[in-house]
Structure 1
Amino acid sequence: MRVCIVLEHRFVHTPDGATYDNGQATYAHFRRYLGTFEEVQVVARSQPVARPRPGDRRVDGPGVQVAHMPYYEGPGGLLRRLGPVLGRLRAVLAPEDAVIVRLGGVLGHLAAGLRTVQGRRYAVEVVNDPFLGFAPGPGRRGHLRPLFRVLMTALTWGQVRGAAAVQYVTREALQRRYPPGAGVPAFGVSDVHLPPEAFAAGPRTFQEPALRAVLVGALEQPHKGVDVALEALAAVRGAGLDARLTVVGEGGLLPGLKAQARALGVADACTFAGQRSTPAEVRRDLAAADLYLMPSRTEGLPRALLEGMAQALPALGSDVGGIPELLSPDALVPPGDAGALARLWHSRAPDPAWLTAQSERNLAHARSYADDVLDRERGRFLRVVRERAAR
């Protein structure tokens, strides 16, 4: 049986049809579905390019193919190409396929709606919360944003209720807002990839303040709160702590964030490292840091934070989405509150006892998300998807 995974992602592909990604949606991620299904078809937007970008890795490979959807950007772009997008979805989703849609993503919503109209089953992976993603805040302008917030939240709720099986990346947070239908099998399994090499040999013992902070995330949307981290960095340094920040990632927000760092007077204390080519390179950034920052405005369950915890990093984060499932209450601040983050940063970074205890705690907690642990639970979900698709 073939499984089709419909996701809100933007790949690139070369003239020979090979598909690439510079994030985590690569072949190593999708081949995990081959333990249950004979074939995997990834359904997502893809843009033609002459050659792969630096750091790109293959998405397709043995047993995994990619169905390239018409490329668009933003709601306006989708409306202009809605006909071709729907036509392509009808063409690539065969009636006998098992279909998993990732919500809330627009392509996932369209695919779930199409399967419903056709009287076919679908399963859902809930990876984020549109209620938080479309919430008001800095960099989130547009008269239609409140409408999108209501629409996408309602769609996610309804389509989760109508799914044949549901998997959440959180253990509690997304389940509360988007509960499954009565009698529907539901699973809470992160989509993080933590092989044995992702873990530090043991916890860290701190004797000095944690001066080197790190933040990893895409810089396409303000969701990761990098601007909040920069404001907090300026406040912390102004209060006398010689803190420094490394931001790993790239995207359209990068020029504005660099300008913000200059305006705040912290350009010399902030390194924008760009996109790393391999997970091993990211792990080197994590190993070189003393403290992980996760000041997100919205999250499902942040994979990058788990990767930092696996490297035995103490961490500070916002009290939003699945972050409270990962960090202790004394490591949390309200989302978007740079002042609160600065105060917590300034009090925790010079405290070796707290840092050492958090390093041990975070590493132990991350081990419960190791591949060998999560793969067993993922396998249960996928077996249910296969069984219900065959009915």
Structure 2
Amino acid sequence: MRVSVVLEQRFIHTADGATYDNGHATYAHWERYLNTFEEVQVVGRSQLVTAVPPGYRRVDGTGVSVLHVPYYQGPVGLLRRLPGVLRTLRRGLEPQDAVIVRLSGLLGHLAAGVRKAQGRPFAAEVVNDPYMAYGPDGTRHPLRPLFRVILTRLTQMQCREADAVQYVTREALQRRYPPRRGGASFGVSDVYLPPEAFSAGPRHYSQPAQLAVLVGSLEQPHKAVDVAIEALAQLRRAGQNVRLRVVGDGPLRPALEAQAEQAGVAQDVEFVGQRSTPQAVRADLDAAELLLMPSRTEGLPRALLEAQARALPAIGSSVGGIPELIPDEYLVPAGDAAALARVWGALAADPEALSRASARNLNLAHEYADDVLDRGREAFRQVVRAQTAVREN
């Protein structure tokens, strides 16, 4: 049986069809699906390129193929290419396939609709919360309120229609997007933490922490880098010796650099851009003494768990699945720079608290180790296969 996984990833491909990604959706990720299925078809947007940039790795390989959906950016871009996108999905999602759609991605929603029109089953993986992503503190698109209503309702409806649902959180996303009564439901993070992702032991702090790190895309304001810069400025004005490193890139970077300049902390904020390998990100985490995750919206953030696996103390906002990973004393309201500065300043100045947080975070991260989570992921995939076979008969 073939499984088709529909996701919102942006791939690139060369003229020979070889497909590449600079994130987690590479061959090593999809190869694990071959423990359950004979073939894997990855379905996502892909852009033709003449040369592969450094750091990109192959997506396709033995047993794994890619269905290239016409490339688009954002809801308006999708509308312009909608006929071609739908033709590709109808052609590529064969009735006998097992199909898993990742929500709330626009392509996943469309694929779920195609399966419903085919009278065929699908399963869902819920990886983010459109209600928060399109809330007042989320994207700045002028149609944000409309997208919030439509995508929230679609996600709720399609979770009820899916034969099985896997959530990246243990509780948070399940509350807003419950499965149908009696339906199969799994709470398994999509983080990838192989043995080499873990530090050998917790950190022992003997002096205050100076360097904080924030890891996230600068495509949208979801990661709240602006809030972190404002909090940094407050701490510097109060005389506290703290600095911030931002790992990630995107169109918001120039405005954030200008904000740091205007706040008088440009020399204290380092924008290092997008890292091309997990090893490079781990080097940034190892060099830092504290992680900030002041996001305006999240599912269960991989970057947070990756930092905790490096025994890094962390502060985060009380949204999505972050409270499942960080205790209340290190949670702040989303968008509240003053609260972030207060908690950041207190933790950074307390070596004993930093050492305790390091040990706690490393212990918790081991609960999300790849060999642990793979048991839940495999159980989900087995249910998807079995229910597709039942519908086929």
Find the counterpart in structure 2 of residue 269 from structure 1: 268
> CA separation in 1, counterparts of 2:80 and 2:348?
50
In structure 1, the residue matched to 2:66 is: 66
1:298-337, aligned counterparts within 5 Å? 298-337=297-336
Shift of 1:276: 1.2
Matched residue type, 1:322: G
Counterparts of 1:86 and 1:138, CA distance in 2: 28
Counterpart CA distance in 2 for 1:218 and 1:35 is 32
Q: Is the 8 A contact 2:138 2:296 kept in 1?
A: no
1:34 aligns to what? 34
Mapped pair 1:231 → 2:230: yes
User: Which residue in the other structure is 2:82 paired with?
Assistant: 82
Deviates more, 1:111-120 or 1:255-264: 255-264
Query: What stretches of structure 2 of length at least 5 have no aligned partner?
Result: none
Q: CA offset at residue 225 of structure 1?
A: 0.8
Q: Which amino acid aligns with 1:19?
A: T
Aligned to 2:45: 45
CA distance in 2, matches of 1:256, 1:54: 26
Give the TM-score normalised by structure 2: 0.98
1:274 shift after superposition: 1.0
**Between Structure 1 and Structure 2, how many residues are aligned?**
390
* Match runs of 1:168-207 below 5 Å: 168-207=167-206
* Residue equivalent to 1:280: 279
Q: Deviations over 1:157-214 (max 9, x none)?
A: 0000000000000000000000000111100000000000100000111110011101
Report the alpha carbon displacement of residue 137 of structure 1 after superposing the two structures with TM: 2.6
Q: Alpha-carbon deviation of 1:138?
A: 7.0
Letter paired with 1:264 = A
For residue 213 of structure 2, what is the amino acid of its counterpart? V
Q: Alpha-carbon deviation of 1:141?
A: 4.0
3-state secondary structure, aligned to 1:80: helix
- The Cα of 1:54 is off from its aligned counterpart by 2.4
- Cα RMSD over matched residues? 1.0
Cα contact 2:212–2:292 (8 A) shared by 1: yes
Unaligned regions of 5+ residues in structure 1, if any?
Answer: none
SS at match of 2:377: helix
Counterpart code for 1:207: S
- Determine the structure 2 residue equivalent to 1:56: 56
CA contact (8 A) 2:138 2:222 kept: no
Distance in 2 between residues matched to 1:163 and 1:138, nearest whole Å: 27
Q: Would the aligned equivalents of 2:6 and 2:100 in 1 still touch at CA under 8 Å?
A: yes
**Distance of 1:275 and 1:261 partners within structure 2:** 19
What is the CA–CA distance in structure 1 between the aligned matches of 2:129 and 2:114, rounded to whole Å?
A: 22
Structure 1 match to 2:353: 354
Report the AA paired with residue 334 of structure 2: P
Which amino acid is the alignment partner of residue 93 of structure 1? L
Contact 1:199 1:310 in 2 (8 A): yes
Corresponding residue for residue 6 of structure 1: 6
The residue that corresponds to 1:134 in the other structure is: 134
Give the aligned partner of residue 164 of structure 1.
163
Secondary structure (helix, strand or coil) at the match of 2:246 reads strand
Structure 1 letter corresponding to 2:258: A
Deviation for aligned residue 1:282: 0.8
Instruction: Name segments (4+ residues, structure 1) moved above 6 Å.
Output: none
CA contact (8 A) 2:132 2:138 kept: no
